[in-house]
Chains A and B, each alone.
Chain A
Amino acid sequence: EAQVTQNPRYLITVTGKKLTVTCSQNMNHEYMSWYRQDPGLGLRQIYYSMNVEVTDKGDVPEGYKVSRKEKRNFPLILESPSPNQTSLYFCASSPRGGADTQYFGPGTRLTVL
């Protein structure tokens, strides 16, 4: 089944404790992206990647890192999480950018205490 998977789905952590949220797609898509969703703010892009080893900042990249060493994986790294990073995170992929439909993962709900 074609899908985007994220792990973990739920995570509660404490300020400053490094964490990684994994994202994997099995559709051979070139484009991958991370969003955060906050009430009243919609989805805001954190980082995106046009292909392996190519990443770029979105609208809200501060406090996040990403890497794209393989086509299928695009992990999101929070080196020192803070409470303002409490949010619902979505990974998405598409064949390329432009007009292509983005396929979203199920989301990761992160709480930073």
Chain B
Amino acid sequence: AQSVTQLDSQVPVFEEAPVELRCNYSSSVSVYLFWYVQYPNQGLQLLLKYLSGSTLVKGINGFEAEFNKSQTSFHLRKPSVHISDTAEYFCAVRSISGNTPLVFGKGTRLSVIA
């Protein structure tokens, strides 16, 4: 089974500052990794995902994440945040083998302060 730990439940940051949202996972098998974003009063949408190949993945809205297999991490970064980035961010994993569920972390609430 897989599990995901998002190390920060809330992250406040000033507008135009950089941000990193941390995600660590546990799995005995290889996994796919995802970051989803949930804007207020909306469903989730995909920011980016890592399947294989280059460990640096670029997503929408200027976000990127780096897969680190040795540290079992998949941290999300943005060099300069905007007010509109205020949302909840979820890291998720899924085994590459078999029809297994997508397992989500508990989420990190990013608040961008003007």
Q: Which among B14-22, B77-85, B99-107 touches the partner chain?
A: B99-107
A interface bracket (residues with beta carbon within 8 Å of B): 20 to 34
A74, CB-defined interface residue at 8 Å: no
Note all chain B residues with C-beta closer than 8 A to A12.
Answer: none
A97 engages B44 (CB within 8 Å): no
Contact B46 A58 (CB under 8 A): no
Residues 42 to 56 of chain B near chain A (Cβ within 8 Å): 42-46, 49, 51
- Residue numbers in A under 8 Å from B102 (CB-CB): 33, 45, 102
Cβ A97 vs Cβ B99 within 8 A:
yes
Q: How many residues of B contact A (CB 8 A)?
A: 24
Which A residues lie within 8 Å of B67 (CB)? none
The CA-CA distance from A92 to B90 in the complex, in Å, is 15
State the CA gap A83–B42 with chains docked (Å): 23
Contact partners of A44 in chain B: CB under 8 A: 104
B32 touches A43 (CB 8 A): no
Determine whether the beta carbon of B43 is less than 8 Å from that of A101: no
**Nearest-CB distance from A40 to chain B (Å)?**
6
Chain A residue contacts of B106, Cβ below 8 A = 40-42
Question: Which A residues are in CB contact (< 8 Å) with B100?
Answer: 97
Judging by beta carbons under 8 Å apart, are A102 and B99 in contact? no
A85 → chain B closest CB, angstroms:
19
- Residue B61 CB within 8 A of the other chain: no
Docked CA distance A16–B44 (Å): 30
Per-position contact with A for B74-114: 1 when CB-CB < 8 Å, else 0?
00000000000000001000101001111111110000000
Instruction: Report if A104-B44 is in contact (Cβ < 8 Å); known contacts: A40-B106, A42-B106, A97-B100.
Output: yes
Known: A40-B9, A42-B105. A99 touches B32 (CB 8 A): yes
List residues of chain B with CB within 8 A of the CB of A102. Answer: 44, 46, 102
Partner-B contacts on A (CB < 8 A): 4, 33, 35, 40-45, 48, 50, 56, 58-59, 90, 92, 97-99, 101-102, 104-107
Chain B interface residues toward A at CB < 8 A: 6, 9, 32, 34, 36, 42-46, 49, 51, 90, 94, 96, 99-107
6 CB contacts below 8 A, A to B, read: A35-B104, A44-B104, A98-B99, A99-B32, A99-B49, A106-B43
